[in-house]
Amino acid sequence: MDTFKLEILTPNGEIFNGEVLNVVLPGEEGEFGVLAGHASVTTLLEAGVVDVEKEDKSVESILINWGVAQVDEEKVIILVEGAVAIRGENENEIADALEEAKKLISDIADANPAIASVSAKIESAAQGLL
């Protein structure tokens, strides 16, 4: 399977930059997946979880609160306001990341009632890592 370049940028720096196989984005009108060679599209993203399938087939989940995705044939650039990657070397780090993600969720919870499903999603993502 072909890979493509994915960049996720936050105002505080890069949170992800690398070659990936597949990425699922929480678009305004529903989730959509992007594979290499996707047609160009520019769209807004809602608060939700970005699932990134990396070259080694492992999946990483990144929580975002707002974003704009620019997709073209070779690369995907996602600009987000706030993001937390659910990852870590050991249990402690993952737990910390989860804690941080929950904080971000509670910050955006008022504006978006559908946030509960996002919360469940990151929980299961974290469970998967442990």
Q: Does 90 bind another protein (CB under 8 A)?
A: no
Which regions of the chain does DSSP assign to beta strands (E)? 4-10, 13-27, 30-35, 41-45, 48-54, 59-64, 67-71, 75-80, 83-86
Tell me, what amino acid is at 121? K
| Pair 108, 47: CB distance under 8 Å | yes
| Pair 92, 82: CB distance under 8 Å | no
Size of the site for another protein (CB under 8 A): 23
The window from 39-47, 49-57, 92-100, 119-127 that contacts another protein (CB under 8 A) reads: 39-47
Cβ 130 to another protein shortest distance, Å:
30
Query: Measuring CA to CA, how many Å separate 37 from each of 22, 24, 41?
Result: 11, 15, 12
Choose between 23 and 125: whose C-beta lies nearer to another protein.
23
Q: Does 44 bind another protein (CB under 8 A)?
A: yes
Q: Does 24 bind another protein (CB under 8 A)?
A: no
Handedness of CA 116, 42, 81, 54 (dihedral sign): positive
Choose between 28 and 56: whose C-beta lies nearer to another protein.
28
Q: Which of 31, 81, 100, 123 binds another protein (CB under 8 A)?
A: 81
Choose between 41 and 130: whose C-beta lies nearer to another protein.
41
Q: Which of 1, 2, 12, 110 binds another protein (CB under 8 A)?
A: 12
